[in-house]
């Protein structure tokens, strides 16, 4: 049982670190990156965001983003089978917040917006109109996933302390 408790502690700690790291990345976009991009001419803003969307797909970010999702999934399954463990409600809540509110929102909402932006020519009329809507929609959903990641970090932190 001590080995399971040790692995559980490591999982909780990795969940805190992963959710916190992802929350920080998304927080930066919500608080200043998107605002800075909105100050650029649409052609420049689109080109910059298209570049960001390409470079974000790198091993370190994907390890943090996808690895945290895997850890949350493992902790969720563990919690459902071992409900008597201290902090189970915090583990389930943190896992669902990250899996649905951060990972799910990213795949279901932010990524499709990114894909639409990738297809547009930055200097086109369609590009300028898409950019205005993109800034509003993408940033709103980024706020949602930021809040979800911060909340998940909080719940996992509570779970570590138990």
**Between 3 and 34, whose confidence is greater?**
34
pTM tops 0.85: yes
At 75 the three-state DSSP class reads: helix
Structure tokens at 139: 């940033």
- Which pLDDT value is given to residue 158? 96
Structure tokens at 74: 């493992």
Q: Once rounded to an integer, what is the mean pLDDT over residues 30-49?
A: 98
pLDDT-based confidence at residue 1 (cuts at 50, 70, 90): low
Task: Give me the long-range contacts of 70-74 (CB less than 8 A, separation at least 24).
Answer: 71/11, 71/14, 71/15, 71/18, 72/15, 72/19, 72/98, 72/99, 72/103, 72/152, 73/99, 74/11
CA pair distance 34, 32, nearest whole angstrom: 6
What's the pLDDT tens digit per position in 53-76? 999 999 999 999 999 999 999 999
Of 156, 17, 40, nearest to 89 by C-alpha is 156
- Within a 10 A sphere around the Cβ of 83, how many other Cβ atoms? 11
Q: Once rounded to an integer, what is the mean pLDDT over residues 22-30?
A: 98
- Of 33-37, 84-88, 100-104, 154-158, the range with the lowest mean pLDDT is 84-88
pLDDT at 156 over 80: yes
């Amino acid at each position: 049982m001590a080995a399971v408790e040790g692995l559980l502690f490591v999982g909780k700690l990795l969940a805190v670190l992963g959710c916190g790291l992802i929350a920080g990345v998304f927080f930066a976009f919500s608080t200043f990156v998107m605002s800075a991009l909105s100050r650029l001419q649409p052609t420049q803003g689109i080109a910059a965001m298209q570049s960001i969307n390409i470079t974000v797909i790198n091993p370190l970010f994907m390890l943090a983003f996808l690895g945290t999702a895997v850890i949350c999934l493992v902790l969720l399954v563990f919690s459902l089978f071992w409900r008597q463990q201290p902090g189970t409600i915090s583990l389930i809540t943190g896992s669902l917040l990250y899996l649905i509110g951060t990972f799910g929102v990213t795949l279901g909402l932010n990524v499709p917006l990114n894909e639409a932006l990738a297809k547009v020519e930055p200097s086109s009329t369609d590009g300028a109109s898409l950019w205005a809507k993109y800034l509003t929609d993408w940033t709103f959903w980024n706020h949602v996933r930021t809040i979800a990641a911060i909340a998940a970090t909080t719940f996992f932190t509570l779970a570590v302390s138990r």
